Amino acid sequence: MKSLYACLGVILAMLVEAHGVEMRGHGGPVRDIAITQYGLKALSAGSLDYTMIYWDLSGTKGRIIHKFDDHDGPVSAVAFVPGGKRAISASDDGAISIWDLKSGKRIKRFKQHTGKIAKVAISADGKLAASASWDHTIRLWDLEKLSFIRAFKGHKGPVNSAAFSADGKTLYSASYDGTIQQWLVQTGTPAGIIYNHGMGINVMALVPGGKQLVFGSLDGRSGVVDIESGEIAKILRPHEGPILGLTVSPKHGMAALSSGKRRNGYIHVYALKGWEPKEIHHNPYTPVWAVAFSGKGDHIYYGGLDDFVNVWQVNPRKPFEIVASKYPRRFELSGDMDPGEKQFARKCSICHTLKPDSANRGGPTLYKLFGRKAGSIPGYSYSKTLRTSDIIWNAETISKLFELGPEHYTPGTKMPLQRIKSKKQRAALIAFLKRSTGGPAQKTR
C-alpha cells in the first residue's frame, strides 16, 4: 500500500509544480522553509510577523491552508514531522510548538529553552526532535509522548544547527564556538568534537551515506567533513558573506548553500556526487536565509528580507532572470524621508501598516491609532498583556512606550525590544503618526 501511495505521489508531483509556485502571505521577512518530499505542501517561517504558514503548492500560486500566528516571538525554524500530519515551529523566545496540520491547532508547546531556537531536526522515524538554541544547548523531545527527554550541554557558544544520524542513534550539532560535535542520543553523552573550524558555524547537514557532514560558516567558508577522521574531504567555493542557509536533497542528488552580505544574497548549488559546482544565483536585494528544493528539484524556494518566498529556476537555467525582490523596502531608509517617517521606517514599518488592512504584519494596523484602546482590534492575536491593558494610545502613551521600551511599559507583549531615547525623535514619530494614521480612532469594542 505504501508503495502505491509513493507511486501516486510521484505522478501527482509530475503533474503539478511545473513552475515554481508563488508563496505570498507573510507580513515580514522569511527565515525558514520546508517542502514535503513530492513538493505538494510547504511550511514557511515569518520571522517578524510571528507566523508559520502551511501551503498547498498544487496550483499555479501557493494557497494558504493554515496560518499559525499564536507565537510569542519571531518564528525562526519550521519542520514537517514524517507522516505529514504534524509540523513543528520554533521561535526566538525559545518556545517549540507542535501543530496538527489538518485542524490547524496546537498539540503541545515546550518552553524549556532560555534563548532563541535556530534549528529543529527530526529523526527519520519521526519519533524524536532536537532543537538547537542560542542558550548553548541542544534539547531532545519525544514526539510520541510529547515530552522533554534531555539537554545536551558542552558547546561554548550559541548552537545553530543539529542533525540526526540515519539510524537516530547519534546527534550532530554545530555552534558559534566553531565546532561540530557529536552526542549519543540514548544517554546524552558527548562523543567528541568532530571538527573545529575556528570561526562560527551557522549551518550543517548530514550528507547521504551518513559518513560526512556539510557545513557553512560565519566567515563565508564551507566544506564537507569526514565524520570518522574529522578531516575536510572537500573545500567548497567561498561566499562573500556569512553562509546562512543550507539544504541537502538526496532525492535529487544536490545541495545548496545560501549567504548574505548587506543586501546581496547568493545561492550556490552542487551535485552531491563529487561536489561538482552546478549553478550560482545572485539576488542583489536581499540576503538569503533559507533555501529548499522543489519537489522536482528544478526550482529552489528561498527566503530573505522580502514578505514572500522567492523562486529560482535552477534547471534549465534561464538566460535572463527577473528577481521579484524590490528595493528600497518599507523599512529601508531613503534620503528624502522626514525625521518622523525615518523613525517609523526603523521602528514600526516592519510590523505595522498605516492602512485599515494589517497586511499580515507582525502587529495590528496603526490606522486610526490615536484614541484607540490597546489590544482592541478584532481578529488580531494580542498578548494577554495588551488584551487586559487599560492603555489608550495617544501622544503621551506612545512617547512613554518608546522612552521606556515595550519590555518595561508593556511587559509580556510581542513587541520587539526597542527604544527611542531622544525626546525630539519621539516627537517627530508622533507627529508623523498623527498625519498618517487617518485621524481619531473609531470604537472597536
Give the angle 280-301-19 at the CA atoms, nearest 5°.
95
Cα–Cα distance for residue pair 378/232, rounded to 1 Å = 56
Side chain identity, residue 381: S
Question: Rounded to the nearest 5°, which phi and psi values hold at 105?
Answer: -100, 150
Whole-number pLDDT of residue 444: 43
3-class DSSP state for residue 150? Answer: strand
Whole-number pLDDT of residue 12: 45
In the chain, what's the furthest Cα-to-Cα distance? 69
Whole-number pLDDT of residue 334: 66
- pTM of the entire predicted model: 0.85
Are the CB atoms for 225 and 233 separated by under 8 Å? yes
CATH topology of domain 339-436: Cytochrome Bc1 Complex; Chain D, domain 2 (1.10.760)
Whole-number pLDDT of residue 430: 94
Helix or strand run (H / E) with residue 310:
strand 308-313
Side chain identity, residue 404: L
Indicate the pairing of strand 137-142 with strand 128-133.
antiparallel
Half-sphere exposure of 153 (CA within 13 A, CB side): 4
- Four-point Cα dihedral 355, 26, 12, 322, nearest 10: 90
Three cell numbers written together for 186 = 540514548
CATH topology of domain 13-313: Methylamine Dehydrogenase; Chain H (2.130.10)
pLDDT tens for each residue of the chain, 445 residues long: 444 444 444 444 444 444 578 899 998 899 999 999 899 999 999 877 889 999 999 988 999 999 998 898 889 999 999 999 999 999 999 999 999 999 999 999 999 999 999 999 999 999 999 999 999 999 999 999 999 999 999 999 999 999 999 999 999 999 999 999 999 999 999 999 999 999 999 999 999 999 999 999 999 999 999 999 999 999 999 999 999 999 999 999 999 999 998 889 999 999 999 999 999 999 999 999 999 999 999 999 999 999 999 999 999 998 888 888 887 777 776 667 789 988 888 888 878 889 888 877 778 899 999 999 999 998 887 888 888 999 999 999 999 999 998 888 988 777 776 789 999 999 999 999 999 998 665 444 4
- DSSP one-letter string for 239-266: PSS-EEEEEEETTTTEEEEEEEETTEEE
Domain boundaries, the chain: 13-313, 339-436
